[in-house]
Chains A and B, each alone.
Chain A
Amino acid sequence: MELTRRDALAALAASGALVAGGASLTWDRLSRADGEHGEGESAAFDGEEVATLVAVATVLYPSAATGVPEFVETYVVGRIRDRPAYAAGVRDVLSTLDASAESWYGGRYATLDDGDRDGLLRELGVATAEPNPDGTDAERLRYYLVNELLYAFYASPTGGRLVGIENPQGYPGGLESYRRGPRS
């Protein structure tokens, strides 16, 4: 199932990020050199951080989901562009994850195969960690990466549709879907 930038915008709406237009939500937006950010905007994510983010999303999302890099780009940029502190939290856990990948598997997270990506998250305790932005590494990974990306996916109509609900909680999908039967 193809994820689109429109899905990402829907997820952003559900997360409280009010976005006037999706076209400008590209990594480019965050890639300006230091000192060129607009007031309140987050500093850049470098290419390796972007690759790690997409690699995590690929592990978290069902294999049926396609278009993950573009979805993640639009969602994450929209999510953090005006929230420097939040962006710093995301960057911090990306660094933690890459450092763990380097020391335990000998390479950055994005370079690992699917099994090792999955395995590393589990070995770090992320699967069972309580989400907490101020907690342990596992708790912060759960908060800033895993639950962030899962929220984006399952609060979007495309992610919801995979489960069987095109108007998932958090998505303002209107007043028609609750009246529709499964075959209409």
Chain B
Amino acid sequence: MSDGSGGSDGTRAGTGGEADRRPSGRVDVCVIGSGPAGALVAATLARRGRDVVVLEAGRRFDPAERLRQMERSIRPGGGSVWEMGGARDAFTSPGERRYPLNAARVKGVGGSTLHWQGMVMRLHELDFERRTREGVADDWPIGYDDLAPYYARAERELGVAGAVDDPFAPPRDGPFPMPAFPPSYGDSLFADACERLGVAMHSVGNARNSEAYDGRGPCVGYGTCKPVCPSGAKYTAEVHVAEAEAEGARVVDRAAVQRLEHGDSGEVVEAAVYATPDGEEHRQEARRFVVACGGVETPRLLLLSASDRHPDGLANSSGLVGRYFMDHLFAGVGGRLDEPTRQNHVGFITSECHQFYDDPGRATRGIPGTDADVGSIKLEFLNYAGPSPVEMALGAEEWGDDLLSVLREAYGNEIAMGALVGQLPRRENRVALDRSRTDDHGNPVPAIHWRIDDRTKRTIERANEIQRAILSELGVEITWTVGPENTGPAFHHMGTTRMGTDPEESVVDSTLRTHDLDNCWIASSGVFVTSGAMNPTLTIAALALRVADHVDETL
């Protein structure tokens, strides 16, 4: 086990620009990426005495910066809270639909959990068996039962506030680590209308402290969860980065991995070559490698690592690295009610409906069914519909009494529902290399080829139909709809290094080890075979814990 002193030369990387970022000697495990997957793998293995180095492309953000970042997120003209953009993060989006990649991710210690919403749900059993049960997409090589114990561990690791009140949820053993957040006043407005229509409301799993947990305090209601929680109540992967370091792991920030290098046989990875701010390149050698840098940078890194032995990129004998890119799509309907709706007090939601997940075409006593071929729908009752008065004030052209009148007119009566729907995996949706453009190190940038298929569009329409029925029953004057034509991604990158049993049809096996490389695993939503319609991070965390077990067994 590492003594924490770091490199082979006895130095240790720190966090500042002058930190020593030279490599450690050959370690047990090199983890690339410090988001939830990488951090959980690192912490789990370090706890077990393994010598771990984590390489993270972005910088370490000091928690003392969070309040200023929050202010920047509220005040206009503040720029990217998490410093995304520029040459480092260049990309292209040549697909049918533009993909706003840099709004969808964060490079920094903690990864995209720095800016995530913090919603954590388990996939349903159906999600693992779409081919068998629906005749679409493919089955996963593992089932819900394989993941259930890891889901429970993941809920404890992240700290999930939840309740066992969702009649549509998959089976689970035991309660959540923390009680659910009580429903909002806005939820209570929906309740009668949903009851009349036969629509069930239930709590939401939140990776956000409803009470003190794991050394972090409860939520205090800043209302800015996404993009930044100043209080630390919302889980970020910094929690497990800190634990990994406390257990002796070494985390090197601003260490952008350029490529993986394999040995002579081409069957094992020998080193991760990374660049540091001083312009140097270093080789971190390890016995095992875990690539955990998200659904876009993971396939990009494998493709950038092409060699004579692997001319199409590492782990890519199937030709599928980067393919089957998926995201969730947003569907929403909103409007105004003739009474106060009390929105924007907190930045998270407290009620959802999973009734239309396994059977999205089902009829209720107030909503007609449909026989159309549609996918899963997850409905959300929003607590942040309409404008935030403070944000609106800062962009207004009025001030004084005029401004107050404008704010009072705009705020108070808005109400809205959201929804996530998944898309089927399709080969043509992919992350590739765009060799016409390079990043700050001269590497081809990722190109996102993305389009939305007809089934997904039908599913969005079905979600809108259900939402309109509920809002109309409530008496809402509907003023806006996000439907198939103006939908956007939920920023959940999935499917670019898919899991499977056949090396010709997948990139990793059921343990998430690459088919082609004996000592390389992928911990990421990139391994998802299907997207489901649930926020993916809890599944990412569960898979990461499983990866850690498998890696540990081989050491």
Min distance, Cβ A120 to any Cβ of chain B, angstroms: 13
Given contacts A131-B76, A147-B75, A169-B223, contact A178 B184 (CB under 8 A): yes
Given contacts A16-B67, A132-B77, A177-B221, contact A160 B390 (CB under 8 A): yes
Given contacts A62-B403, A170-B71, A172-B231, contact A178 B221 (CB under 8 A): yes
Q: Which of B184, B219, B383, B403 has the most CB atoms of chain A within a 10 A radius of its CB?
A: B403
How far is B70's CA from A18's CA once the two chains are assembled, in angstroms? 14
User: Are A168 and B388 within 8 A (Cβ)?
Assistant: yes
How far is B407's CA from A168's CA once the two chains are assembled, in angstroms? 12
User: Which of the residues A64, A128, A143 comes within 8 Å of B77, measured between beta carbons?
Assistant: A143
User: Are B389 and A178 within 8 A (Cβ)?
Assistant: no
Within 8 A of A (CB), among B392-450: 393-394, 397-401, 403-404, 407-408, 411-412
Given contacts A130-B77, A163-B411, contact A169 B393 (CB under 8 A): no
B342 at the interface (CB under 8 A from A): yes
Within 8 A of B (CB), among A127-151: 127-128, 130-132, 143, 146-147, 150-151
A118 at the interface (CB under 8 A from B): yes
Query: Interface size class for chain B?
Result: 35 or more
Q: Which residues of A contact B76 (CB under 8 A)?
A: 130-131, 147
User: Are A62 and B221 within 8 A (Cβ)?
Assistant: no
Given contacts A178-B221, A178-B342, contact A146 B390 (CB under 8 A): no
How far is B317's CA from A7's CA once the two chains are assembled, in angstroms? 63
A61 at the interface (CB under 8 A from B): yes
Number of A-B contacts (CB under 8 A): 156
Of the listed stretches B1-9, B85-93, B344-352, B533-541, chain A binds B344-352
User: Are A169 and B408 within 8 A (Cβ)?
Assistant: no
How far is B344's CA from A160's CA once the two chains are assembled, in angstroms? 11
CB closest residue in chain B, given A56: B399
Min distance, Cβ B70 to any Cβ of chain A, angstroms: 6
User: Are A155 and B399 within 8 A (Cβ)?
Assistant: no
User: Are B74 and A169 within 8 A (Cβ)?
Assistant: yes
A21 at the interface (CB under 8 A from B): no
User: Are B342 and A172 within 8 A (Cβ)?
Assistant: no
User: Are B344 and A169 within 8 A (Cβ)?
Assistant: yes
User: Are A16 and B68 within 8 A (Cβ)?
Assistant: yes
User: Are A163 and B404 within 8 A (Cβ)?
Assistant: yes
Given contacts A179-B183, A180-B185, contact A150 B389 (CB under 8 A): no
A40 at the interface (CB under 8 A from B): no
Min distance, Cβ B329 to any Cβ of chain A, angstroms: 26
Enumerate chain A interface residues (CB-CB to B < 8 A). Answer: 13-18, 59-64, 118, 121, 127-128, 130-132, 143, 146-147, 150-151, 153-155, 160, 162-165, 167-175, 177-182
Query: What are 5 A-B interface contacts by the 8 Å CB criterion?
Result: A143-B77, A163-B411, A168-B223, A171-B222, A174-B220
